[in-house]
Amino acid sequence: MIGHKFMFSTGIENSYPTIVGPDGRTVRIDQMEKCRHYQNMELDFNLCKDTCIEFLRWGPPYYKTHLAPGQYDWSYSDDALAKMRELEITPIVDLCHFGVPDWLGNFQNPDFPKHFAEYAQAFSERYPYLDLYTPVNEIFITAMFSAQYGWWNERLTSDRAFVTALKHLCQANVLAMHSILKVQPDATFIQSESSEYFHPIRPEVQGLANFLNQKRFLALDLTYGYPIRVVMFEYLLENGMTREEIRWFEHNQVKARCIMGNDYYATNEHLVMPNGTWQAAGDVFGYYVITHQYYNRYRLPIMHTETNRTAPESEEWLWRQWANLHRLKQDGVPILGFTWYSLTHQIDWHVALREEHNHVHPVGLFDLDRNILPVGKAYKRLIQQWGPVLDDERYGTIYR
């Protein structure tokens, strides 16, 4: 049956960047392993169903699945997707979440985009019935944390490294969309990009704040082939991109097949300090104002693809985000979905995964023993109460 369905979602947190350990060795931080998803896979999907969640942000561990060019291990994906199909849970497939296989190195590798596109096509050929994808998760954050802040993967700290990573991630994203469309021409792509804002704390840093508030759009500007404005155009050229590479995005975008998924946390707004650094500002403008800025730029349907908060503030945060989202919808912005991320607590996100402490980050609908938490019960109530209302409202995905 074809109808309009609002996408209430959660996610299986599946980050897998590499970091440097205390002994100087490279360490892979696999959140699905640390949060015990592999051993609780069927239970986790059943918990989604029990919570009235019909859509799930989920993806196989890219670093374990893509073994070499043309070689894949589909064992986890086969089992997981069979269980989701049995439960009638629709996956939003996340193919690259903050890391690459060891043989690809890191996001400075110019061969990453073509290999990733081959992987995306192989995945869609194995599971041709799937039609909702996030090819590359949070491109801006991946490039910043890996190549500007020096925390993950290549662990570099320069504008040139950032632009190189950004270029390769966006190329991989666009090429993967084309590869998937060859197999599944009805595919829809839901970006998941961090929605940022930089507030100047003093007038003398207004210029830097303006620059950063243009830089925050780069991942989506390239992905969607949006005309790059002068300051950012010069920034990209000065740091290694060519005019031809920028134009490639204009000629290869598939924006018409996209939903602009955006993420919002209490850490997404920043105070720009007099010394040129920035720090968390808290919830100043909020999801409504910042999402309006992104919507006015790209004019695409929107899904809120990530939010959370640690207890005891989590329930209040859930309702505040929902109120912002629904007000946007009532004000005419085409809102298609909402996500509390993630299903369970996470590990070490209090330090953005850049150090390994095995510290529980309590943001899940369920704890790591799979006990439902107050925010999980609140989210279930929200879905039960608002689902029938939203089914009668104007915007929604066409869903079979």
In this predicted model, what pLDDT tens digit does every residue of 189-228 receive, in sequence order?
999 999 999 999 999 999 999 999 999 999 999 999 999 9
Check whether 166 has a pLDDT greater than 60: yes
Owning domain of residue 265: 3-399
Average pLDDT over residues 320-330: 97
Are 71 and 110 in contact, with CB atoms under 8 Å apart? no
CB 191 within 8 A of CB 263: no
Number of domains in the chain: 1
Q: Quick: pLDDT tens for 275-286.
A: 999 999 999 999
Between CA 365 and CA 274 the distance in angstroms is 39
Q: Is the predicted pLDDT of residue 82 greater than 50, yes or no?
A: yes
Alpha helices in 127-158 (DSSP H): 139-143
Cα distance between residue 386 and residue 393, in whole Å: 11
Element (H, E) at 200: strand 197-200
What is the spatial distance between Cα 124 and Cα 252, in angstroms, rounded to a whole number? 20
Residue 397 pLDDT > 80: no
Q: What is the pTM of this model?
A: 0.97
CA 256 distance to own-chain centroid: 19
* CA–CA dist 283, 261 (Å, integer): 19
Type and span of the H or E element at 193:
strand 193-194
Euclidean distance between CA atoms 184 and 81, whole angstroms = 17
Averaged pLDDT score across all residues of the chain: 97
Q: What angle do CA 165, 171, 177 make, to 5 degrees?
A: 135
- d(Cα 114, Cα 21) in Å, to the nearest integer? 30
Cβ atoms of residues 192 and 305 within 8 Å: yes
Could you tell me the two tokens for 340? 């509390």
The yes-or-no verdict on residue 393 having pLDDT over 90 is no
At residue 394, the pLDDT reads 55
Place of tokens 């497939």: 93
Cis ω on the peptide bond leading into residue 342 (within 30° of 0)? yes
- Residue 222's closest CA among 235, 210, 209? 235
Average pLDDT of the residues in 351-355:
98
Structure confidence at residue 3 as a pLDDT band (50, 70, 90) = very low
CATH number of the structural domain spanning residue 287: 3.20.20.80
Which residues, at least 6 apart from 21, have a Cβ–Cβ distance to it below 8 Å? 27, 356
User: Does the pLDDT value for residue 140 go beyond 70?
Assistant: yes
